[in-house]
Amino acid sequence: MGAAMEGVKLTCATCGQTNRVPRDRLAAGPKCGTCGDPLADGRVHELDARSHDKAVRSDDLPILVDYWAPWCGPCRAMAPEFAKAAKAVAPAVRLAKLNTQDHPEIVGRARIQGIPALILYRQGREVARLAGARPAAQIVDFLRQHLSLAA
């Protein structure tokens, strides 16, 4: 099996199902085989505790998670910038959000000390962190620096 046909594991943010997508089909907008929601469409997807744990531990694509809360002004202000960054790096990297207010158990496990906090995961490991609200260009630069993405 060639590298282009090699399957990439992606967790559906909606239903938590693991999907295998041929690498050469990532840009074609693959959908979850169970619920039909998009998997790597350049949008930011909201994770729950189950889909968060599954995605950061087992997805083959890097995932950048924004740990945020609805009461956090800087978090809300950064949301449109995070969405712009998601479009800029898709389908090479997926961007997702986790509401820390709804999932406090993740906060302790991920050692979140302040929000917004961005944590980049790759192949089940934390690669890097970025604290504070950032414009899209800084988020993309952060990803390029840590993942060797093309400019």
Residue 3 lies in a domain: no
Higher pLDDT, 148 or 4: 148
Q: What is the CATH number of the domain that holds 88?
A: 3.40.30.10
- List CB contacts of 10: < 8 A, sequence separation 6 or more: 18, 19, 20, 21, 30, 39, 40, 55, 59, 60, 61, 94
Please say if 75 is a catalytic residue. Answer: yes
Task: Average the pLDDT over 113-121 and give the result.
Answer: 96
- Does residue 53 register a pLDDT over 60? yes
Residue 25 lies in a domain: no
- So what's the pLDDT on residue 83? 97
Q: CA Rg, the chain, in Å?
A: 15
Among candidate residues 12, 15, 35, 75, the one labeled active-site is: 75
- So what's the pLDDT on residue 62? 95
Domain extent at residue 118: 41-147
Residue 14 lies in a domain: no
Residue 30 lies in a domain: no
pLDDT tens digits, one per residue of 120-148 = 999 889 999 999 999 999 999 999 999 97
- Does residue 15 register a pLDDT over 80? yes
pTM of the model: 0.91
Residue 24 lies in a domain: no
- So what's the pLDDT on residue 29? 85
Residue 88 lies in a domain: yes
Residue 109 identity (one-letter amino acid): R
Among candidate residues 12, 32, 35, 72, the one labeled active-site is: 72
Total domains present in the chain:
1
